[in-house]
Amino acid sequence: MSKVTIQGDASGTGIFTIASPNSNTDRTLVLPDEAGTVLTSVSSITSTQLTGDAIPIGVGQTWTDVLGSRATGTTYTNSTGRPIMVAVTAGEATYSYCRGWVDGVTITEQQSRDSATSTSQAGVIFIVPAGSTYQVTVSVNGNSSDFDAWFELR
Amino acid sequence: MKHYKDSNNNLFGFEENAVIPSGLTEITMDEVKAINNVKAQAAYEALSYAEKRAQAYPSIPDQLDTIYHEGIDAWKATIAAVKQEYPKP
């Protein structure tokens, strides 16, 4: 049988108390089979210590150029297991239009009118939850679907 | 990434190891672009004359530039050309 020891500090004088809540139900707290310290509400946690769903978007992910493998008007599925961010820029033209969809719902859209001397372009950026579908619709001069950039933080 | 279409030419993209739903046909990126161009052209043709004109007019800065450098008559000619190209039915 393993043993449990509660050990006080030889120099300290404070009294540490293990207290129970007001309950009539028996409970057992099982200690983890590893060394460490107790996590409290003021403990510092770095993003690299988080796992699973607790990992925030951007940690361990990089902006990836997927221009060559994406097409406008096409439904893609975020199968990475984590949220991703999508950033698309429509082709440069007199008139360009860009719309982002997640799970069939328009999340964001922008249209741009260029002058002969400017280079503004329509573009959208949005987050796609894990498992969701997403799509970007691009219209350039009303009759084409070119886009200049498609990056994903994944 | 692989691309697919259904019987209505709706387009889908799946990762290499994904389970592909039934009823989809794999297509090349060139076929995807061709389908999208046909859709874009059809969407453009469906626009009203006013919507086509709105897209074809020069931007406001360009119109002001034309007025400043070439005068009102030149500006009118620019606008008239768009109206003529997309006549009111």
Q: Where are the beta strands (DSSP E) in A36-146?
A: 63-65, 74-77, 84-90, 95-102, 105-113, 123-128, 133-140
pLDDT digits 0-9 by tens, B29-76: 999 989 988 888 888 888 899 988 988 888 888 899 999 999 999 999
- CA B78 from centroid of its chain's CA atoms: 22
**Cα dihedral value A26, A30, A36, A41, nearest 10:** -40
Give ipTM to 2 decimals. 0.72
Closest CB from A74, A95, A117 relative to B13: A74
Selected residue of A101, A115, A135 to mutate for chain B interface (largest B Cβ count, 10 A): A115
Domains and CATH numbers, chain A: 60-153 (2.60.120.40)
Query: Does the CB of A120 have a partner CB in chain B at under 8 Å?
Result: no
Give yes or no for a contact between A133 and A102, defined as CB atoms under 8 angstroms apart: yes
pLDDT digits 0-9 by tens, A5-60: 999 999 999 999 999 999 999 999 999 899 988 888 898 888 778 887 788 889 88
Contacts of residue A22, defined as CB under 8 A and 6 or more positions apart, other chains included, come to none
Task: State residue B84's pLDDT score.
Answer: 96
